[in-house]
Structure 1
């Protein structure tokens, strides 16, 4: 009762194909792969220091002083 046979997996695959259809399943897997890639890229970028601020960061206060 603890292990699943090949027939169990075939039935599960059949139900998934009926629910999602043959066209939506590859698209969903592609979206999942893009999400994993974006997550890995985000983890890699997290270790890098942030880019420096622009050298042009002078305050431009145009209001007259009283």
Structure 2
């Protein structure tokens, strides 16, 4: 007994078929199958692609040297509205 009893699952299946109908359930199954196939295909393509080494960005600073940004902060004051 319990939730995993086969009789309970049969009743739930009958209720689902009555609520949604067999046509919608068939379409849902087809859509789910296509989604899984697309996911598997994408995963296989990702595995077969050779890894390309990342090319560092071209800059005028030598490698292994820290880069700094020269900037000056300014305080901006908003005018106070008088009622």
In which range does the TM-score fall when normalised by the shorter chain?
Answer: 0.5 to 0.7
Q: Deviations over 1:9-28 (max 9, x none)?
A: 11110111022111111111
Q: Please identify which structure carries the higher helix content.
A: 1
What stretches of structure 2 of length at least 5 have no aligned partner? Answer: 52-83
- For 1:49 and 1:10, locate their aligned partners in 2 and report how far apart those are by CA, in whole Å: 49
Q: Could you tell me the TM-score, scaled by structure 1's length?
A: 0.63
- What is the Cα deviation at residue 49 of structure 1? 3.9
Decide which structure has the larger Cα Rg and report it: 2
What stretches of structure 1 of length at least 5 have no aligned partner? Answer: 51-66
Q: Could you tell me the TM-score, scaled by structure 2's length?
A: 0.52
